[in-house]
């Protein structure tokens, strides 16, 4: 199976429309790949909070339209990163769309863990509450967005639902790049799954992006990593069958102890 991770640059000098067109061209150039993945909130920028309201789109808005066509033109499964969705009730969500090679929408995932503690996305957006997996012919994807990477229980939930390839679309800051790499490898090792983690490039809203998109195999080995924080397409061939063989040969997931008794409260 071949995947292309598009580590697109999010630059405030480029309009959202222009970046949409450029993203579509980058996707089109990946014909021959099985799966193409874009990062989190690439149309507007993950930290461009002041633009969220103005650039919010309905589910079937311009990003949906352009990405559906790009998937069909390239004939690929397209994980179109995420965009700022305005739901029918007016609430904003950090929403991921996946399209099949015919350009039909195959999955929608609303980011579950919102970043920012008491500001930014955490107060501006609603939280998704549904885990999303998607069966492709070669592997079952489990969908996650950026800050979700810090929550191992979410990934276990995805694995319990059948995920073999965990896709993380991010706008991860350079300041915490070491966490990005470490957590991507940890999620792969503990779940004996592939991790395809794509970040964005450039600097927006004063936040330098980490780039360094990374693909990790079910043994925790790094199969491919972007060279830095510039725009880059990271292409990788991987064997989805290695998830099953790794889980058979080193069956640690079978040794989980669920439902442990909580510690007694003393005194």
Ligand X SMILES: O=C(O)CCC(=O)C(=O)O
Shortest Å, Cβ 115 to ligand X? 3
Question: Distance between CA atoms of 78 and 86, rounded to whole angstroms?
Answer: 21
Q: Does 119 bind ligand X (CB under 6 A)?
A: no
Q: How far is CA 131 from CA 108, 163, 177, 226, in A?
A: 10, 11, 25, 28
Report which secondary-structure segment, H or E, holds 248: helix 241-249
Of 144, 145, 143, nearest in space to 134 by CA: 143
Q: Does 176 bind ligand X (CB under 6 A)?
A: yes
Which residues, in sequence order, are CB contacts of 184 under 8 Å at separation 6+? 149, 168, 195, 197, 214, 216
In terms of CB distance, is 93 or 147 closer to ligand X? 147
Active site residues: 40, 111, 146
Angle at the Cα of 66 from the Cα atoms of 21 and 204, rounded to 5 degrees: 50
Shortest Å, Cβ 172 to ligand X? 5
Site for ligand X in 134-173 (CB under 6 A): 146-147, 150, 171-173
Instruction: State the residue for tokens 């008794």.
Output: 261
**Binding flags for ligand X, 26-65, as an x/- string (CB under 6 A):** --------------------x-------------------
Q: Does 202 bind ligand X (CB under 6 A)?
A: no
Shortest Å, Cβ 100 to ligand X? 27
In terms of CB distance, is 52 or 172 closer to ligand X? 172
Q: Which of 77, 115, 194, 238 binds ligand X (CB under 6 A)?
A: 115
List contacts with ligand X (CB under 6 A). 46, 115, 146-147, 150, 171-173, 176, 179
């Amino acid at each position: 199976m071949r995947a292309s991770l598009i580590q697109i640059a999010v630059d405030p000098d480029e309009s959202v429309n222009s970046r949409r067109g450029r993203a579509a061209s980058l996707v089109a150039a990946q014909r021959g790949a099985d799966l193409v993945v874009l990062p989190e909130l690439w149309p507007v920028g993950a930290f461009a909070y002041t633009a969220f309201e103005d650039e919010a789109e309905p589910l079937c808005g311009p990003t949906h339209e352009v990405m559906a066509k790009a998937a069909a033109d390239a004939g690929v499964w397209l994980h179109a990163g995420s965009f700022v969705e305005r739901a029918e009730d007016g609430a904003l969500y950090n929403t991921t769309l996946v399209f099949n090679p015919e350009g039909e929408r195959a999955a929608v995932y609303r980011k579950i863990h919102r970043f920012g503690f008491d500001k930014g996305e955490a107060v501006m957006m609603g939280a998704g509450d549904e885990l999303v997996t998607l069966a492709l012919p070669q592997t079952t994807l489990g969908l996650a967005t950026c800050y979700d990477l810090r929550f191992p229980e979410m990934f276990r939930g995805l694995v319990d639902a059948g995920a073999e390839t965990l896709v993380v679309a991010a706008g991860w800051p350079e300041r915490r790049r070491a966490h990005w790499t470490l957590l991507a490898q940890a999620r792969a090792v503990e779940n004996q799954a592939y991790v395809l983690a794509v970040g964005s490039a450039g600097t927006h809203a004063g936040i330098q992006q980490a780039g360094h998109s990374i693909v990790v195999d079910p043994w925790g080995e790094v199969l491919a990593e972007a060279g830095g924080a510039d725009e880059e397409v990271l292409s990788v061939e991987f064997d989805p069958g290695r998830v099953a063989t790794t889980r058979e040969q080193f069956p640690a997931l079978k040794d989980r102890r669920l439902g442990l008794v909580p510690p007694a409260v003393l005194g």
